[in-house]
Amino acid sequence: MLVLGIETTCDETAAAVVRVDAAGKGEILANVVRSQIDEHAPYGGVVPEIAARAHVDLVDLVIGQALREAHVTVDDLDAVAAAGGPGLVGGVLVGLTTAKAVALVAGKPLIAVNHLEAHALTARLTDQVAFPYLLFLASGGHTQLLAVTGVGSYTKLGTTIDDAIGEAFDKVAKLLDLPYPGGPEVEKRALDGDARRFAFPRPLAGRPNPDFSLSGLKTAVRQEAERLAGLEAGLSERDIADLCASFQMAVADMVADRCRVAIKLFRARFGEPSALVVAGGVGANQTLKRVLGATAEAVGLTLVVPPPRLCTDNGAMIAWAGAERLALGLTDPLDIAPRARWPLDAEAATVGSGRLGAKA
């Protein structure tokens, strides 16, 4: 089975070709990603209109490159998959419309993939993780703990009640006047910092529900930065490094605590998870990976984190999720609409615990 995957939900224009053998094992034949960092850097964040226009300029090029690198044509494909949401709707529209055109012309099935589901299933591409497993999904727009019990079967155990983790990293970078993109820059500066210098809070630690909160921690970093700047007429490089390291460790400790609670809930409701899986761009953070590795080991679980290139947005995860859905006969009509919001656990997003606010 050969599937083309197209990803345009934010500021990466990506396309990939994934082959699945008779045993269900996936192989990435091509995975092309064109970043828009340079276009958005002057604004300190992603500008939706600029992102959509860049996708228009790049999407045909990356699809063509992916097909060439995979040594296949559209006639060889078994299906065309594209992220149908959630994300910046202008970008989603570009990728999904392009996928519809390719599918229509080539006479291939179309699969509109939930971008979050693609992240959720990536560990099955890279490590053949069996259902069920506990997923920690963390990116610039999402922070969730989910029980993954099958393709299309997700139960939200915990979520953020304010900022996503990636969003908090970016906001801390901005208040410290670090370059865009902020998350990787905070991690880079933290390498030279003392994580014990500042006693930042670990929000919601010990609470029985595995939810997250980042706003108070972010405020604590801002207040400490302002205090230091007032004392020294500006922050030194040492101050910035220590602030980054202390913030990053506070996040890692909070995530570890929240995951421990989620593991207990998972075992009570779904039995033994096959693994603790990390997905999303924040999964590329090495401190978080180290702390979660120790957390998983302490409770007898294996930590699975896809390679960094597959944690951030990419076409291979879309193609793989498309292949998983195609194997179950789950395809979509050509009139399917793009979705700015598309929660994995729709029931939790609508009735939930009353804690979810605007985060899907």
Question: What pLDDT is stored for residue 354 in this prediction?
Answer: 32
Region 149-174: what's the mean pLDDT? 96
Question: What pLDDT is stored for residue 346 in this prediction?
Answer: 73
pLDDT tens sequence across 50-73? 999 999 999 999 999 999 999 999
Determine which of 39-43, 122-126, 195-199 has the lowest per-residue pLDDT on average: 39-43
Question: What pLDDT is stored for residue 72 in this prediction?
Answer: 98
Q: Cis link prior to 181 (omega < 30° from 0)?
A: yes
Domains identified in the chain and CATH numbers? 2-123+313-342 (3.30.420.40), 128-308 (3.30.420.40)
Does residue 34 register a pLDDT over 90? Answer: yes
Q: Percent of the chain having pLDDT more than 70? A: 96
pTM of the complete model: 0.93
Region 76-85: what's the mean pLDDT? 98
Phi and psi torsions of 131, nearest 5° = -75, 150
Q: Percent of the chain having pLDDT more than 90? A: 89
pLDDT tens sequence across 257-267? 999 999 999 99
Q: Give buried/exposed letters for 242-279 (b at 16+ CB in 10 A, else e).
A: bbbbbbbbbbbbbbbbbbebbbebbeeebeebbbbbbb
Region 266-285: what's the mean pLDDT? 96
pLDDT tens sequence across 209-253? 999 999 999 999 999 999 999 887 789 999 999 999 999 999 999
Question: What pLDDT is stored for residue 44 in this prediction?
Answer: 85
Angle at 257 between CA 254 and CA 261, to 5 degrees: 135
Does residue 358 register a pLDDT over 50? Answer: no
Q: Please check whether residue 10 is in contact with residue 329, taking contact to mean a CB–CB distance below 8 angstroms.
A: no
* DSSP per position, 135-201: EEEESSS-EEEEEEEETTEEEEEEEBSS--HHHHHHHHHHHTTPPSSHHHHHHHHHTTS-TTSS---
Provide the residue count of the chain. Answer: 360
Does residue 39 register a pLDDT over 70? Answer: yes
Question: What pLDDT is stored for residue 348 in this prediction?
Answer: 62
Q: Would you place residue 140 in the very low, low, confident or very high pLDDT band (cuts 50, 70, 90)?
A: confident
